[in-house]
Amino acid sequence: MAALVRRSLRCLVKLQVEPRGSSLIILRHMSQVEKPLSGKSALVTGSTSGIGLGIARALAGSGCNIVFTGHKDEAGIRELHQEFTRKHNVQANYIPAELTRPGDIEKLCHETMAYYPEGVNILINAAGIQHVCPIEKFPLERWDTMLSVMLTAPFQITKHLLPAMKTKGWGRIVNVSTVHGLVASVNKCAYVAAKHGLNGLTKVVALETAGTGVTCNSICPGWVLSTMMEQQIAQASAENGISWDEAKWLLISQKQPSMQFATIEQVSASVVYLCSPAADQMTGSCMTMDGGWTAQ
């Protein structure tokens, strides 16, 4: 603490004796140190709730401008916009898009490029949905919807936004996968198939961009106490005739040896790390955060 105070006093003294232009440079430098992603921009899908929103908040907190998209009413969108712009002092733009529709995805990408003509620096594919039932009862329309949102949409968005990243010589693509992109569970055929495919897409993009300054990684958390997880807990509670808390511990005890949920904040911090210079040589990785799930 004493060292921090001395360093701050030195900065204040320097601001007093330097010319005005130099002072602005010093202030800008200090801001960049505090906000490692200042000047960067990110498109985050599924960013109006859950893990996607947590990631958008963490990026904004690191100084990154945010393009956010997802399902939310107008009042909720206004509230999030104010949070990004006032709390974090970054630019924020909301673009509505239904990720099952290729035309909406193209519109999302074109409008993003209109806000950032040189392209966004960071792409986070975080949108996800779930449906749990045995394969013989799994509706085809649910299968199509889930693969569209969690595999086809990341492919399309990456295809549109990657060229600008390569032109600039810097970019970060993080696909929010799951431990189910590495191992399987019963009654989750579409989710497991989509997330395995997303991890495969991650590796291909990483190889195709190797050496360009663009990296592509996926993050694979186990159980995270998110909106989607809460829906699964509610379903387990109803199906087994047990309380919500009992269903929560039933699910986590079956898979996650740590017996603790990962938090949205932990997942979000990992994404910020993947966007940092410390992760320059991390590409093609499927980064697990699963409390020992896949170590079994």
- Domain range summary for the chain, segments of one domain joined by +: 41-223+263-289, 225-261
Query: Is 191 a residue of the active site?
Result: yes
Q: Is the pLDDT of residue 19 over 60?
A: no
Q: Is the pLDDT of residue 10 over 70?
A: no
Give me the mean pLDDT over the 147-158 stretch. 98
Give me the mean pLDDT over the 179-201 stretch. 98
CATH T-level topology, domain 41-223+263-289: Rossmann fold (3.40.50)
For 23-76, the pLDDT digits (tens) are: 444 434 444 457 899 999 999 999 999 999 999 999 999 999 999 999 999 999
Give me the mean pLDDT over the 204-233 stretch. 94
Q: Is the pLDDT of residue 121 over 50?
A: yes
**Residue 259 has what pLDDT?**
95
Catalytic residue among 94, 115, 116, 191: 191
pTM here is 0.86
Whole-Å CA distances, 175 to 52, 155, 182, 226, 252: 11, 10, 14, 17, 24
Whole-Å CA distances, 129 to 50, 52, 85, 289, 296: 11, 12, 28, 20, 26
Residue with tokens 């800008």: 28
20 against 182, higher pLDDT: 182
For 231-263, the pLDDT digits (tens) are: 889 988 999 999 999 999 999 999 999 999 999
Among 249, 246, 268, which Cα is nearest to 258's?
Answer: 249
For 191-200, the pLDDT digits (tens) are: 999 999 999 9
Number of H helices, E strands in the chain: 11, 7
Which three-class secondary structure state does DSSP give residue 236?
helix
Total Cβ atoms within 10 A of residue 72: 18
Q: What is the mean pLDDT of the chain?
A: 90
Q: In whole angstroms, what is the distance from residue 271 CA to residue 268 CA?
A: 5
**Residue 226 has what pLDDT?**
85
